[in-house]
Chain A
Amino acid sequence: MLKSLTCAAVMFAAAAGLANAQESQWEVGGIGGVGFSPNLTVKNATTSASASVRPGLTVGVYAGQNMYRYWSGEVNYLYRAGDLKLSGNGQSARFAAHTHLITGDFLAHFKPRGAHIRPFISFGGGIEVMEGTGRESFNQPLGNLAALTATREVLPVGEIGAGVKIQLANHLQLRVQARDYVSQAPHEVIAPAPGARLSGIRQDIIGTAAIALTW
């Protein structure tokens, strides 16, 4: 999907040459994409299992301001669908879940404000609200390692990413980007059993495309 998004970005870049260059200061847009997460590990003295957040659709909105010639700032909200899965020892357990990501980000552009194509890198931070919404069960598989729990957990999150903005028209901008949201492992939604330990860093690697109004 990222490859097709890149192709689309190139096509729009060509079209962008037709658009008038304008030093827009504000951007408000909608985002869509897919999120992926590396596995975490939960283990006790005798056995272990992998704990993962399944790939899922990601949608969101953002609003930003091009404050300086090469720097901008923005606020992002993303909804990342992604069920939880525990697997190991020939057993597995799935559990409905999703994550809300709310971040404030700085963007450093490689082209000045007003350029048609503006590659950028981003970094920022905020909070991640992870919600388990599945049906709990006394007999959940691998319950000796971890409990998948219908609860809400708020974690601090850091973000780094890179992308490109393409001005399609005076007030219309396309953005393609990939961002990595990093937080600690969610010990309440994926609660390690007594004597077990959940290790690893929670990552949401999210590739998105966005359309924004600029002015």
Chain B
Amino acid sequence: MRTTAPGAPSPGVIQRINLSNHTEYNATLMAEAPMTASSLTTPPVGQIGESISPFTRTLAISPDQTKIFVLTTSGLTVLPSTFDAVLAKPVVSSVLNAADRSTLVALGGLVDINGTSLATGSFTAGAPPLPESLGDVCALVNNIPLPLFSVSPGLLKAQLPYIAGAASLVVHNSGGVSAPFSFSIQGQAPAIYQTNGVLQVIRDDDNEPVGFTNPIHPNTALTIYVTGLGLTSPLPPLGTAAPPSPPAVVVTPPTVTLGGVSLAVTSSTLAPGQIGVYTIHATAPAKVQVAESAPLTVTAGGNSATYNVRVVSP
């Protein structure tokens, strides 16, 4: 392996050498030229009784052979030992809402972008605001960069822009640019979050998710975590956390029914401190139809999402 450049102003390449026939191959462009004796700006210093030549060896391999250290004109560059691996272009296969993995997605909502070779590794964003480039990956919808929660080879988690209608998604990374992926963004497309299969419908009286052993009773107050409720007032900038006060109130509130009977919706807002996550506060009716599996439906913007929950009385 060697680095070479015609001169310090030229970045040059790093390439492998076949020692049996002394041929070079897989030359890969560097960002800057390797350090050479002529480019060494620090003059050799003679010490008492000896003369020291400029240090010109510029490549070293880490003991575990996973990294290559390159002395370059402005310092040290660390490369993976697989620097010359051929990277596949990213391919997008689906865009699903992050709440229940259905295909209905809404503006400002959180989505899972599924595919292959979307990223070379796994990276997670820190505290908001979210970055538009993460792990050498960025994704654009109709040329608007998406705030990214996390990236990995098979999945990008991102927030959609505040636009509705036909959309075209492309993913950029070090392997290239994906083919455009067409999909549709709804004004509203509610979906209740599920965490490890647990529906995020929380009973306010015990602060636990609704489930078979924690059913809905008459007059039970519920907090429902959803995505896809669309525009709010105020509308936080993309990738930023929702403000605690004043709350970002959903412009067109959703309706919620249980077994076909309407619940009283007391508020629907973006969850303070979170990005693209909405909360609906609702109360079950005084009279409920007992059922081991009753449909809980959230409707907004003409789109509905239905999940089954256990209802008991009283």
Which residue from B198, B208, B217, B314 sits with its C-beta under 8 Å from A137?
A: B208
Contact A194–B212 (Cβ < 8 Å): yes
On whether the beta carbons of B312 and A140 are closer than 8 Å, the reply is: no
Query: Is B215 an interface position by the 8 A CB rule?
Result: yes
Chain A residues near B214 (CB-CB < 8 A)? 136-138, 140
In angstroms, Cα B206 to Cα A118, docked, is 54
Complex CA gap A192/B254 in Å reads 34
Interface residues of B in 30-80 (CB under 8 A from A): none
**A135 vs B206: C-alpha distance when bound (angstroms):** 8
State whether the Cβ of A148 lies closer than 8 Å to any Cβ in chain B: yes
Confirm or deny: A150 has a beta carbon within 8 angstroms of a beta carbon on chain B. yes
A151 on the B face (CB < 8 A)? yes
A56 to B155, CA, bound (A): 57
Smallest distance from the beta carbon of B198 to chain A beta carbons, Å?
8
Chain B residue at minimum C-beta to C-beta distance from A152: B314
- Neighbouring B residues of A138 by C-beta, 8 Å: 198, 208-211, 213-214
CA distance A188 to B215 in the complex (A): 12
Tell me whether B312 and A148 are in contact (CB under 8 A). Answer: no
Proximity string of chain A (118-149) to chain B, C-beta cutoff 8 Å, 1 when within and 0 when not: 00000000000000000111111001000111
- Tell me, in angstroms, the Cα distance from A188 to B214 when the chains sit together: 13
Contact of B215 among A135, A136, A152, A194 (CB under 8 A): A136
CB pair B208–A147 under 8 Å, yes or no, is no
A125-181 residues with Cβ-Cβ distance < 8 A to B are 135-140, 143, 147-152
The reply on B313 being an interface residue by CB < 8 A is: yes
Which DSSP category, helix, strand, loop or mixed, fits chain B's interface? loop
Q: Are B313 and A140 in contact (CB under 8 A)?
A: no
In the complex, chain B residues whose CB is within 8 Å of the CB of A188: 290, 312
Asked if B212 contacts A147 (CB within 8 A), the reply is yes
Chain B residues near A19 (CB-CB < 8 A): none
Q: How far is the CA of A120 from the CA of B312 in the complex (A)?
A: 42
A147 and chain B: residue at smallest CB distance: B213
Known: A149-B312, A151-B313. A194 touches B292 (CB 8 A): yes
A191 within 8 A of B: yes
Selected contact of B208 from candidates A139, A149, A194, CB within 8 Å = A139
Asked if A151 and B212 make an inter-chain contact with CB atoms under 8 angstroms apart, the answer reads no
- When distances are taken between beta carbons in the complex, the residues of chain A under 8 Å from B198 are 138
- B216 CB to closest chain A CB (Å) equals 10
**Using Cβ atoms and an 8 Å threshold, which residues of chain A touch B310?**
147, 191
The number of chain B residues touching the other chain, given as a range, is 10 to 19
Contact partners of B211 in chain A: CB under 8 A = 138, 143
Confirm or deny: A115 has a beta carbon within 8 angstroms of a beta carbon on chain B: no
CA distance A139 to B213 in the complex (A): 7
Majority DSSP secondary structure for residues of A touching B: loop
Assess whether B313 is in contact with A143, with CB atoms less than 8 Å apart: no
A193 contacts chain B at the CB level, 8 A cutoff: yes
* CB–CB B206/A149 < 8 A: no
Cα of A107 to Cα of B217 in the assembled complex, Å: 41
Please, what's the 1-or-0 string for A23-42, where 1 marks a CB less than 8 Å from any CB in chain B? 00000000000000000000
Tell me the complex Cα distance, A147–B206, Å.
16
Check A140–B213 contact: CB distance below 8 A: yes
Chain B residues contacting A150 (CB-CB under 8 Å) are 217, 312
Binary flags per residue of B201-232, CB closer than 8 Å to A gives 1, else 0: 00000101111111101000000000000000
B313, A136: Cβ atoms closer than 8 Å:
no
* Assembly CA distance A152 to B212 (angstroms): 17
Docked complex: B293-314 residues within 8 A CB-CB of A? 310, 312-314
> CB-CB < 8 A to A152: which residues of B?
314
CB distance from A82 to the nearest CB of B (A): 20
In the complex, what distance in Å separates the CA atom of A210 from the CA atom of B206? Answer: 42
Q: How far apart sit A193 and B206, CA to CA, in the bound complex (Å)?
A: 21
Q: How far is the CB of A91 from chain B (nearest CB, A)?
A: 13
Asked whether A151 lies within 8 Å of B206 as measured between CB atoms, the reply is no
Least Cβ distance of B202 to chain A in Å?
9
Q: Could you say which of B215, B313, B314 contacts A147, with CB atoms under 8 Å apart?
A: B215
A160 to B215: give the CA distance in the assembly, Å: 36
Whether B314 pairs with A193 at a CB distance below 8 angstroms is no
> How close is B232's CB to chain A, nearest CB, in angstroms?
29
| CA A187 to CA B70, docked complex, whole Å | 72
- Of all A-B residue pairs in the complex, the 6 with the closest CB atoms, nearest first, are A140-B213, A138-B208, A143-B213, A147-B213, A138-B214, A151-B312
List residues of A whose CB falls within 8 A of some B CB.
135-140, 143, 147-152, 188, 191, 193-194
Which B residues are within 8 Å of any A CB, using their own CB?
198, 206, 208-215, 217, 290, 292, 310, 312-314
21 sample A-B contacts, Cβ–Cβ < 8 Å, listed by A number? A136-B214, A136-B215, A137-B206, A137-B208, A137-B213, A137-B214, A138-B208, A138-B209, A139-B208, A143-B211, A143-B212, A143-B213, A147-B213, A148-B213, A149-B312, A150-B312, A151-B217, A151-B312, A152-B314, A191-B312, A194-B212
Further 4 A-B residue pairs, CB within 8 A, beyond A138-B214, A139-B208, A151-B314: A137-B206, A137-B214, A143-B213, A194-B292
